Amino acid sequence: MKKRILVVEDEPSILANIVYSLETEGFEPQGCATGEQALASFAASPPDLVILDVGLPDLNGFDLCRTWRQQSDVPVIFLTARGQEVDRVVGLEIGADDYLVKPFSPRELSARVRAILRRCRAPMTPGRLTGHPSTPANTPFQLLEDRAQILYFGSTLPLSATEFRILRVLCQHPGRLYSRSQLMDQAWTEPETALERTVDAHIKSLRAKLRAVRPDLDPIETRRGLGYSLKEHG
Ligand code: CA
């Protein structure tokens, strides 16, 4: 079955290029030029992935993403104008899965789309597929690998795909120190496209979600200048 891709971009030539390229690659793209159109299309038929321009004439792409995030974990790739570095971090904090800075090649975009859909289909390491939760020793976490969910003190954490992968890596070896570049290598399929400080942004967002469950605890330890590790308990 063809994967439905919602493409939201107000620049007609860019939109046409993306739609054409995705069709050529065997996807089923749905193009929208405004945020309102995108909201209607998303509600009528939820897509498998969204490509979202940040600067739209009617709505802000980040606001659109936040709206969808309340009800859906659909992967989102943001398109940003050159030099919108601050926006990159904001976008990652609200649960974007990837970024492309204009101008980009349609081939590069298709490669990102395929990579994200691949890891959404198989968010766990092959061979570790299990219907049973695995509980990292001495931590309050439970990994439900086949559902790509992580429980914290029994509560399901509302994680983005990237947050899930980061926390999953940390949970595999509590106490082990991971540098930012190691986390990028393990949690991103194309680590060279990620910035080290985007790891910080994801960790910040993860911590907020963990605090929502247990405000008194901070199970992720920051090792200044080194990276992050999951604290070992008891
Ligand atoms: Ca635009």
pLDDT in tens, 23-75: 999 999 999 999 999 999 999 999 999 999 988 999 888 889 888 887 887 88
Q: State in Å: Cα 108 to ligand 1 middle.
A: 19
Q: 129 in a domain, yes or no? A: no
17 domain-assigned = yes
Sign of the CA dihedral with 79 first, then 82, 86, and 89 last: positive
Compute, in angstroms, the gap from residue 170 CA to the centroid of ligand 1: 37
Task: Confirm whether 9 is domain-assigned.
Answer: yes
- Give me ligand 1 centre to Cα 104, in Å: 14
Q: Is residue 128 part of a domain?
A: no
How far, in Å, is the centroid of ligand 1 from the Cα of 57?
A: 7
Q: Ligand 1 centroid to 132 CA: how many Å? A: 45
Say how many Å lie between the CA of residue 11 and the centre of ligand 1: 6
Contact of 101 with 81, CB cutoff 8 Å: yes
34, 86: one domain: yes
pLDDT < 50 regions, the chain: 122-132, 234
Q: How far apart are CA 29 and CA 50, in angstroms?
A: 9
Q: Which range marks the domain in which residue 9 is found?
A: 4-119
Residues 75 and 108 in one domain: yes
According to the model, what pLDDT value does residue 159 have?
85
Q: What is the DSSP letter of 59?
A: S
**Ligand 1: distance of its center to the CA of 190 in Å?**
25
